Amino acid sequence: MNPQRPAPHGWLILDKPRGLGSTQAVSAVKRVLRQGGYAKTKVGHGGTLDPLAEGVLPIALGEATKLAGRMLESDKIYAFTIQLGEETDTLDTEGEVIERSDRRPPMAAIAAVLDHFTGEIEQVPPAYSAVKIDGKRAYDRARAGEEVPMKTRAVTIHSLGFVGERDDAELRSAFATTAGRPDPYDAQAPLELADSVTLVAHVSKGTYIRSLARDIARALGSVGHVTYLRRIKAGPFREEQAISLDKLEEIAKGAAIENLLLPLEAGLDDIPALQLDPDSAQAVRQGRVLSGLPHADGLHLATLDDVPVALMELCGGTAKVVRGFNLPDVAE
C-alpha cells in the first residue's frame, strides 16, 4: 500500500468554468486530493464566483486557508458584457425579463458615461445576491417572492473601460485586443449604435458587476443585463496562473500537486518580509512579542529560511503576531 502523501499548503488557482459554483469547486479539490492519496486537507476559497461567472477562483489549501479572508478584502478585475434592451430580475441571463427598451446608445455615448462610474460610487446590490437581510440571504427572500429592500453601499471603481484599453497598469496584460475607446467629442466619428458592449472593471471588495451593468445601461437611457462575466484577477492572482478542471483532475490520477500549487506567501505578494533567526522564530511560534526591530510600521510576513512563520503587525519597532502558520518545515 502506498504511503499517504502529506497535506499540501498553498494556493490552487482555478479557472472556474461557467455553471460550477464556488462551493462545488472546493468539493472538487477535496475529492482530487483524496483520490490522489493526500492526507485530509483543509480547503477554502478566496471569494465567491456566481455559477454563471467564470475565471479566477483562488482555492486555499492547509495553512493558506488562514489567508482566505484577506482575498475577500482584495480588489478584483472583471471582464463583462452588457446586453442592452432587456433587464432581468437577476440582472443576468438566469432571470426573467422585467423591463424592455428599444433605445440603443451610440458607442461614443457609452465612452462618455463610463467616467461617471469611476471612483467612489453608490451602488444598490442585486436582489438576487448573497447580502444578508435580517439574517437571511437576499436571494432566498427574492426566490420566495418577497419584496427585497436593498440598501445602497459605497464601492470604488478604480478603472472602467473597453476591452483593449491599455491606460491602466492593472489591465495591460489582461487583453491583447486593440479596440480603442471612441472619442465622445469627435463630431466626425460614425454613429455606431450598440446592442451590447464588453467592458473591463478594476473594482474594490463588495462591488456587484451586475449592479454596475444595470446602472450603466440606465444611465444610457436604456436597460440591460450581464450575459458574460469573467474574473481575470483576484487580489494578486491572475488568469495566467489559473488551471482548468482537466488539469486539476491530474492530481487525482497521481500527478504531483507541487507542479500546480503556488506557495502560501503568493497570497501576500504586497507584504514585506521579516527574516527571523531560529530563536526569534521559536518565540513567534509561541505568540511572543518581538522588540527593537528596525523595520517600518505595518504588516510583515515573518519567515525562517524562507518558510512563513507568521503574519505580524509592526508598530514602533515592536512586532505582534496577527496570524501564525504551522508549516511542517518550520524548525521546532
Active site residues: 50
C-alpha cell at 3: 504511503
Does residue 327 contact residue 301 with C-beta atoms inside 8 Å? no
Does residue 106 contact residue 112 with C-beta atoms inside 8 Å? no
Residue carrying C-alpha cell 427598451: 101
Distance CA 238, CA 144 (A): 37
Helix, strand, coil percentages in the chain from 3-state DSSP, rounded to 5 = 25, 35, 40
In degrees rounded to 5, what are phi and psi of residue 245?
A: -65, -35
DSSP labels, 315-331? ETTEEEEEEE---TTS-
Among residues 262, 260, 227, the alpha carbon closest in space to that of 85 is found at 227
N- to C-terminal Cα distance for the chain? 30
